[in-house]
Amino acid sequence: MRVTFSKNVFVAVTNVCRNACAYCGFRARSAEDAYLVSVSEVERLFRNCGGASEALFSAGEKPECSPFWRSVAKNNNISLVEYTRMLCKIAIKHGLLPHTNIGVLSEEELRRLKDVNASMGLMLETIAHVDAHKFSPGKDPKERLRTIESAGRLKIPFTTGILVGIGESEEERIASLEAIAAIHRRFGHIQEVIIQPFAPKKHTPFANRKPPKFEDLRRCVKWAREILPEDVAVQVPPNLVSSARELRSLIEAGANDLGGISAKTHDYINPEAPWPSEEDLRRMISPHELRERLPIYPKFVKKGWFSEEIRHLIEKYADEEGLRRRECM
């Protein structure tokens, strides 16, 4: 069986966020902790990108709604969307294909970012209203589904997923997967669905909550493969499983993608969980074949769902299957 992954440089644009999710250790909790990545730091990261083809841009959601934004933005009126667009252009200049996931966005904001991104994303997390999202207006399932649908209307190759173990029931996990499948059947734009286990973080309200049992996670992967259309990949994060045996078990349950790994940057959302190397991944999933892809999936490469702004990079990196050329690795 072929299992795909991508190589990225992970850029956390800002940790300022309007949401206060009970499990999140990334969000700034004081003005002293808040930051906005500088252009010079991004340039430095991209000068030697460790063989990556993807620039992954992540951020807190609608930071302009936070009192911390004015200080980190140096009182400029630039929005997160416009700042991220500028960083995407820098990534392209350095030969990287951007993938942006910065929270709930309007259709106009998605349109503004579309031409400078190979793909975009937003985790649905859950269709349920859970206590973990009590102070997180952007985690309203209707708002997140609206963004995913808007991306479909704009023909943006899209990543979404569910977060397992934040207070939702098994029935609600299934309903979340069914909601994603229904949207994809309408628009055909979802390239992968991440099945991500909750991981407790220190100094958060959920610090003492137990992560989901492995069997719960495996069962969810199995449901995802049964519910989602065949052309949607099921992704599991390899840094959030405890062993090669568990990872192979998830692949046998239906997972066929391992997301992005980086030789240069860590997982800012789960900094306690380092990414395995490509060599480690090959060993962990053996005898399955590991194959590198781009942040835009082969189906969308072949359909031409990308802009003229990044065409030269798609043509440089994509082979006849739409995966990454071996000579460009």
Give pLDDT tens digits for 45-94: 999 887 999 999 999 999 999 989 988 987 678 899 999 999 999 999 99
Q: List Cα–Cα distances, 232 to 103, 287, 327, in angstroms.
A: 21, 23, 27
Note the pTM of the prediction, 2 decimals.
Answer: 0.96
Predicted pLDDT at 76: 75
d(CA 100, CA 105): 11
Side chain identity at residue 230, one-letter code: E
What Rg, from alpha-carbon coordinates, does the chain have?
A: 18
Please report, for the chain, how many H helices and E strands are present, in that order.
11, 9
Up-side HSE of residue 284: CA atoms within 13 Å toward CB?
23
Q: Which residue has the tokens 């739409």?
A: 322
Predicted pLDDT at 268: 87
DSSP string for 126-143: -SS--GGGTT-GGG-HHH
Phi, psi of 124 (to 5 degrees): -70, -40
Q: Percentage of the chain surpassing pLDDT 70? A: 99
Q: Which residue has the tokens 């106009």?
A: 108
Give pLDDT tens digits for 196-243: 999 999 999 999 999 999 999 999 999 999 999 999 999 999 999 999
Predicted pLDDT at 328: 58
- Residue 9: CB atoms within 10 A of its CB come to 24
Return mean pLDDT, the chain: 96
Q: Percentage of the chain surpassing pLDDT 90? A: 90
Phi, psi of 199 (to 5 degrees): -125, 120
CATH code for the part of the protein at 2-313: 3.20.20.70
